[in-house]
Amino acid sequence: MCTNGSTDILIVGTQMGSLYLYDLINNNTNPNASMMYNYAAVAEQDIAGFKDLEGSKREEAMRKMMIKYSITNVTFMSDGLIDYPHYACIKKLVFISRSASGISQIGCLDELGIISIWNIVEMSNNMVTDYELNVCLGGKFKMALNY
């Protein structure tokens, strides 16, 4: 289950009851993210004669590959949160309120009938700390359990 993705964020509910938030606008905030993926292996499968390309042509092919298959990392994940209410498949996610101030609310329902309400907060760079284990490096959004 996921939100409609027509906003700046996408929230996904998993079969195991976890919630993942993806930032669709600031997907390149983690400088190490693109280094983790082997685009050359994908290019070898996708582009005929990729191994034979040299210099700038190879770099251009890689650049196009990275644009075509851009990878978005999770910005926030609910795994491991204290007092997390969901342990079953997420069935419904609905935005309750959206605000230009950067704070929104989303409602969540799992298959056991447990309902939770989450605040979604856009953070400034100086608010992200090392002990925020649920917010990924470079993340701009955080979810906080409200109910």
Please write the tens of the pLDDT for every residue from 56-95: 888 888 888 877 776 677 888 888 888 889 989 999 998 8
pLDDT of residue 109: 94
Residue of 13 and 31 predicted with greater confidence: 13
Q: pTM for this structure?
A: 0.68
The residues near 93 (Cβ < 8 Å, ≥ 6 apart) are 1, 2, 3, 11, 13, 106, 107, 108, 109
3-state secondary structure of 96: strand
